[in-house]
């Protein structure tokens, strides 16, 4: 067996890479990465594959991260999608990725599942489990997880969802009413305009994404699904903004609250902004709206705006800086679905 070789995505055979990604991530995500992976990861060098004897054995990706911690801007990497093919495990390929990624940044960030969180802890990463993953059913009978459920249990779920529709019709009528505070949509937002509104994030002392003009331009205005994004601002003059993604076919459309920024200490205005986003999702025929809240105050704002259901979310980090690690362990986090790879491609069908 030859020595393992590490390549960027652009240096890897595209058909072989697509087949590998489809094997482990499914056809929808593989297709998205093949078409838009360089945008998603901000360059092909941030998508890596290891080959052995000319065959792809492992893959991972990173997304450069610029974040605010204790008022200071820090550069790091969101690390995701690490997979080693079963037939090549035990050969140190994960360690090869670890060495490569750590050589690029001393600060690594991620959103692990339960199994990965346990593994990260064993390897000295910090892990928090106090984030909240939020979901609000709007039209239960159209929700993708109910539509795709199979067998007898799937039939029962669809029956229960259909029975709940009259109740949710009443709620949709209530949620569609416009908030009392001024709120309007930006049809042609500029990156500079959004960044100016986001400057209030830094003053709150939260650990969050550095939302400068470059970030907004890359992450939202240049997104391949820009046509699915809606930009709402609240206040006069505007002080809070939300970015909503309306994606999927009409029969199973979903809404994702990708970002929330601005004067987030103004609880009443934040609640009104979220209500505006919920109303827009209802008007668009979405079956559900999802969001991520990194701290208790924002989670409370989502619940005050509508009947969001919640479950625990996780965040992890690795750094050799004890002060930085302590800040991540104890500080107020403000991560959203627009960070890292939370806004994954939607399943087709």
CA distance 27 to 75: 32
CA distance 317 to 78: 9
Domain match, 96 and 223 both: no
Length of the chain: 349
Handedness of CA 97, 99, 103, 105 (dihedral sign): positive
Q: What domain range includes position 286?
A: 133-334
| pTM, to two decimals | 0.93
Which pLDDT value is given to residue 344?
A: 86
Domain match, 95 and 158 both: no
- 254 part of a folded domain: yes
DSSP bridge pairs for 179: none
How many CA atoms within 13 Å lie on the side-chain side of 153?
A: 4
Domain match, 88 and 226 both: no
CA distance 232 to 183: 7
**Residue with token string 């991540």:** 328
CATH number, domain containing residue 287: 3.40.630.30
Domain match, 83 and 178 both: no
Which pLDDT value is given to residue 176?
A: 84
Domain match, 271 and 169 both: yes
Domain match, 232 and 307 both: yes
Phi-psi region of 323 (alpha: psi -120 to 50; beta: other; left: phi over 0): alpha
CA distance 78 to 225: 21
Domain match, 88 and 142 both: no
Start-end of H helices in the chain: 14-25, 27-40, 93-104, 114-122, 144-148, 151-176, 191-203, 213-216, 267-283, 296-305, 322-330
Number of domains in the chain: 2
Both tokens of residue 145?
Answer: 């997880």
- 119 part of a folded domain: no
- 239 part of a folded domain: yes
Asked if 220 and 245 count as a contact pair (C-beta separation under 8 A), the reply is no
- 115 part of a folded domain: no
- 139 part of a folded domain: yes
Which pLDDT value is given to residue 156?
A: 72
- 208 part of a folded domain: yes
Domain match, 137 and 97 both: no
Q: What is the pLDDT along the chain (349 residues), one digit of tens a residue?
A: 688 999 999 999 999 999 999 999 999 999 999 999 999 999 999 999 999 998 999 999 999 999 999 889 999 999 999 999 999 999 999 999 999 999 999 999 999 999 999 999 999 999 999 999 999 999 877 666 666 666 666 667 667 666 777 777 787 888 888 887 889 999 999 999 999 999 877 677 899 999 999 999 999 999 999 999 999 999 999 999 999 999 987 777 999 999 999 999 999 999 999 999 999 999 999 999 999 999 999 999 999 999 999 999 999 999 999 999 999 999 999 999 999 999 988 776 4
- Tell me the pairing of strands 229-234 and 240-247: antiparallel
Domain match, 142 and 40 both: no
Residues ≥6 apart with Cβ < 8 Å to 166: none
- 124 part of a folded domain: no
| DSSP code string of 245-290 | EEES-GGG-EEEEEEEEE-TT-HHHHHHHHHHHHHHHHHTT-SEEE
Both tokens of residue 209?
Answer: 């994404």
Domain match, 153 and 58 both: no
Domain endpoint, select from 55, 75, 110: 110
Backbone angles phi, psi at 5, to 5 degrees: -120, 135
Domain match, 143 and 200 both: yes
- 320 part of a folded domain: yes
Exposed e or buried b per residue across 131-144, where buried means at least 16 C-beta atoms within 10 angstroms of its C-beta: bbbbebbbbbbbbb
Domain match, 228 and 329 both: yes
Asked if 111 and 316 count as a contact pair (C-beta separation under 8 A), the reply is yes
Which pLDDT value is given to residue 147?
A: 62
Exposed e or buried b per residue across 252-278, where buried means at least 16 C-beta atoms within 10 angstroms of its C-beta: bbbbbbbbbbbbbebeebbbbbbbbbb
């Amino acid at each position: 067996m030859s020595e393992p070789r590490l390549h960027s995505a652009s240096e890897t055979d595209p058909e072989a890479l697509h087949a590998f990604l489809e094997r482990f991530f499914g056809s929808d995500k593989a297709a998205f990465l093949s078409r838009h992976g360089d945008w998603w990861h901000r360059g092909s060098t941030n998508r890596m594959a290891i080959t052995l004897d000319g065959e792809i054995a492992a893959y991972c990706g990173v997304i450069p991260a610029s974040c605010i911690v204790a008022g200071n801007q820090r550069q790091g990497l969101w690390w995701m999608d690490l997979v080693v093919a079963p037939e090549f495990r035990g050969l140190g390929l994960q360690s090869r990725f670890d060495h490569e990624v750590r050589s690029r940044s001393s600060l690594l960030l991620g959103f692990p599942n339960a199994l990965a969180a346990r593994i990260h802890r064993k390897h000295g990463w910090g892990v928090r489990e106090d984030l909240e993953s939020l979901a609000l059913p709007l039209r239960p009978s159209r929700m993708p997880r109910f539509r795709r459920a199979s067998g007898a249990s799937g039939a029962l779920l669809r029956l229960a969802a259909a029975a709940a529709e009259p109740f949710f019709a009443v709620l949709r009528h209530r949620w569609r009413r416009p908030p009392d505070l001024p709120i309007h949509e930006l049809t042609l937002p500029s990156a500079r305009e959004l960044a100016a509104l986001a400057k209030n994030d830094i003053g709150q002392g939260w650990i969050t994404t550095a939302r400068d003009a470059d970030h907004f331009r890359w992450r939202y205005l240049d997104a391949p699904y820009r046509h699915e994004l809606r930009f709402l601002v609240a206040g006069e003059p505007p002080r809070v903004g939300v970015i909503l993604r309306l994606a999927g076919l009409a029969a199973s459309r979903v809404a994702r609250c990708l970002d929330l920024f601005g004067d987030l200490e103004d609880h009443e205005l934040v609640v009104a902004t979220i209500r505006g986003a919920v109303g827009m999702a209802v008007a668009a025929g979405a079956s559900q709206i999802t969001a991520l809240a990194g701290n208790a105050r924002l989670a409370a704002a989502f619940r005050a705006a509508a009947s969001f259901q919640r479950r625990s979310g996780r965040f992890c980090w690795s750094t050799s800086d004890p002060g930085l690690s302590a800040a991540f362990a104890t500080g107020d986090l403000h991560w959203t679905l627009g960070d890292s790879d939370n806004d994954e491609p939607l399943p087709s069908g």
